Amino acid sequence: MSEFLQLAFSGLTVGAIYALIALGFTLIYNASDVINFAQGDFVMIGGMGTVFLMAAGLALPVAALIAVVAAVLVGLLLHRLAIEPARGASPVTLIMITIGASIFIKGVSQIIFDKQFHSLPAFSGDTPIPVGGATILPQSLWVMGTALALVVALYLFLEHTLVGKAVLATAANRLAAKLVGINVALVLALAFGLSAAMGALAGVVATPITLTRYDIGTLFTLKGFAAAMLGGMGNPVGAVVGGLLIGLIETFTAGYLSSTYKDAVAFLMILVVLLFMPRGLFGSRTVERV
Amino acid sequence: MKAILRSRLTPLVALALIMALVPMIAPTSFHLRVAALVWIFSLAALGLTILMGYAGQVSLGHAGFLGIGAYAVAIGPARLGLDPLLCLLLGAVLSGLIAWLVGRPILKLKGYYLAIATLGFGVIVALILHSETELTGGPDGMSVSRITLFGWRVTGALNWYWVSAGALLIGALIALNIAASPTGRALRALHDSEVAAAGAGIDVSAKKLAAFVVAAVYAAVAGGLLAAMNGLITPEAASFSHSVELVAMVIIGGLGSVFGTVLGAAFLVVLPQTLTAFQEYEQAVLGLLIMVFMIFLPQGIVPSLRAMIEERLP
């Protein structure tokens, strides 16, 4: 039982990171129909940025703040310089643009930073906290707490502020949103900025556990994309559930079956789920219009 | 002039001319090897052109099939003592069979859901090649024995140049014939509207599956040739970034254009070779160029150029 609990804790920790990345995918997808393959690179920018700013002598909160702002700037530039000029292009072309952006970000990062793995010291020490026969690292609580806080903040923002409702309106119907006077361009920029901020924050809190390197974004992108699709693309609740599920499945596979194939099982499960629920767990049943 | 631009044979003749010219101007055998790599990757990307360009179905895991073909040529002779050339064929058959089994369920998915399903397939293949160390040699890969073509051992850059060029010409001929066949028309019809195509009596899922299997066979043959030419294969061949490169080749050259696919492959194979001088900046420049091409020529090089030329012709 204690082993089960132990695995569940680490699964939820990893899952929380995936959930944040999946939420970033969802935000951008809802606002602009773009699948952003540079999403995982925001996580890297958050982690690497904090590592290098702290090495330059800044305190953790300041370094983290600057790194997140940097990621937001990258997100805004990505939207302004790469996505906006290609408006109206086919989905595959848009995917290729974001993949190009991801390669570009990695390329620039290995010049600005380096090619080594880096870590951050855990925020509140490394003393494990005993819980029901198992232990949990304080950093895991940081990760889960940050994820929870961001999800709640995002929910409140979307449901209870005028700007948030404008985002939802744009997601529901861009033309109609434009017609009622919503500044759609601003909403799109906001979606990219918010996604970048969430990814980067996930990167800051996750780095003490996962380590970071210039090319670590690809793995996060794949897992986050998988989580978003598992939940049903475009559904924020689905993104969070999908992220947690993939984190848990991965960890339990590694714990009970084989650590070599933990990544495979996550993707295998997506294949199986999509066979029976072609639009994901929480996807809307859409009827094709002819 | 317009007739020439639209003729089915034009890309083939142009391709054959270029193939004949390259050995005359290539200064060293290194350049010939790069050219042979271009032909091999063109062949792999041609399969995707049929799947993506004709049928409009995306695959983000196509390097998985390339890996299957490559490892068939590596594992067969080394572990089972089979003839390498036979293994090239067996790899193609195996790849097609796997594509048929996997494709039947996942081709029902659409758009991004198909993208993640194919991506997942590719990741799983890469992981298996990576982890089954006893069979595949693990992350370090394994060496591949030489191919013997009717008693002729294929070695050296020039020989491989002609073998790969010949394979690509055959592949291009088949692709162009598929495009002009009833199946090709059916694929283009379901590309535009699956409902309309089904209404016109096209068995949509069977045609999509056929395109997927053909694309997998192309990738497997290319993978087998790649492994045999390099004499070494690593799981990197089946990686996600490799799948992305294949898709980029198809799109940069021009979705659905055979000549464009070769151009896209040439671009993505040659570019990293020229950028090695700038080592550090290689990835940044590559990413930037992919973005610039996709933003300013979203249709790809060849269709954009063709449209420009046709506009100016009377």
Q: What is the pLDDT along chain A (290 residues), one digit of tens a residue?
A: 788 999 999 999 999 999 999 999 999 998 888 889 999 999 999 999 999 999 999 999 999 999 999 999 999 999 999 998 988 788 778 888 999 999 999 999 999 998 899 999 999 888 888 888 888 999 999 999 999 999 999 999 988 999 999 988 988 888 899 999 999 889 999 999 999 999 999 999 999 998 899 989 988 998 999 899 888 888 888 999 999 999 999 999 998 888 888 888 878 888 888 888 877 888 766 655 55
A107: chain B residues, CB-CB within 8 Å = 281-288
| B95: containing domain | 12-239
Q: Position B16: which residue type?
A: A
Instruction: Kindly state whether residue A227 falls inside one of the protein's structural domains.
Output: no
The tally of domains found in chain B comes to 1
Instruction: Kindly state whether residue B6 falls inside one of the protein's structural domains.
Output: no
Instruction: Kindly state whether residue A117 falls inside one of the protein's structural domains.
Output: yes
Of residues A105, A107, A264, nearest to B286 (C-beta):
A107
Instruction: Kindly state whether residue B135 falls inside one of the protein's structural domains.
Output: yes
Compute the nearest-CA separation of A69 from chain B (Å): 22
Shortest CA distance from A86: residue in chain B: B295
Cβ contact (<8 Å) for A279 and B113? yes
A111: chain B residues, CB-CB within 8 Å = 280-281, 284
Note which residues in 216-275 of chain B have CB less than 8 A from chain A: 240-241, 244, 247-248, 251, 255
Tokens of B293: 């091409």
Tokens of A209: 């556990």
Between A and B, how many CB-CB pairs are < 8 A? 127
Q: Structure pTM?
A: 0.88
Shortest CA distance from B199: residue in chain A: A290
CA neighbours closer than 13 Å in the CB half-sphere of residue B212: 26
Instruction: Kindly state whether residue A249 falls inside one of the protein's structural domains.
Output: no
Instruction: Kindly state whether residue B234 falls inside one of the protein's structural domains.
Output: yes
- Whether A267 and B120 have beta carbons less than 8 Å apart is answered as yes
The whole-angstrom separation of Cα A235 and Cα B181 is 42
Instruction: Kindly state whether residue A5 falls inside one of the protein's structural domains.
Output: no
Tokens of A15: 């899952």
Alpha helices in chain A (DSSP H): 2-32, 39-55, 60-77, 91-112, 138-160, 162-172, 174-179, 184-210, 217-231, 236-252, 262-276
Instruction: Kindly state whether residue A254 falls inside one of the protein's structural domains.
Output: no
Instruction: Kindly state whether residue A132 falls inside one of the protein's structural domains.
Output: yes
Which one of B104, B108, B113 would you mutate to disrupt binding with A, by most A Cβ within 10 Å of its Cβ?
Answer: B113
Instruction: Kindly state whether residue B191 falls inside one of the protein's structural domains.
Output: yes
**Collapsed DSSP state (helix, strand, coil) of residue A100:** helix
Note which residues in 122-161 of chain B have CB less than 8 A from chain A: 123-124, 127-128, 131
Instruction: Kindly state whether residue A247 falls inside one of the protein's structural domains.
Output: no
| A63: containing domain | 19-214
Instruction: Kindly state whether residue B304 falls inside one of the protein's structural domains.
Output: no
- Whether B241 and B290 have beta carbons less than 8 Å apart is answered as no
Instruction: Kindly state whether residue A241 falls inside one of the protein's structural domains.
Output: no
Instruction: Kindly state whether residue B274 falls inside one of the protein's structural domains.
Output: no
Phi then psi for residue A212, to 5 deg, are: -145, 155
Length of chain A: 290
The tally of domains found in chain A comes to 1
Instruction: Kindly state whether residue B310 falls inside one of the protein's structural domains.
Output: no
The whole-angstrom separation of Cα B205 and Cα B312 is 40
Model ipTM value:
0.87
The whole-angstrom separation of Cα A10 and Cα A139 is 11
Instruction: Kindly state whether residue B184 falls inside one of the protein's structural domains.
Output: yes
A102: chain B residues, CB-CB within 8 Å = 287
Tokens of A112: 């600005």
Cβ contact (<8 Å) for B106 and A218? no
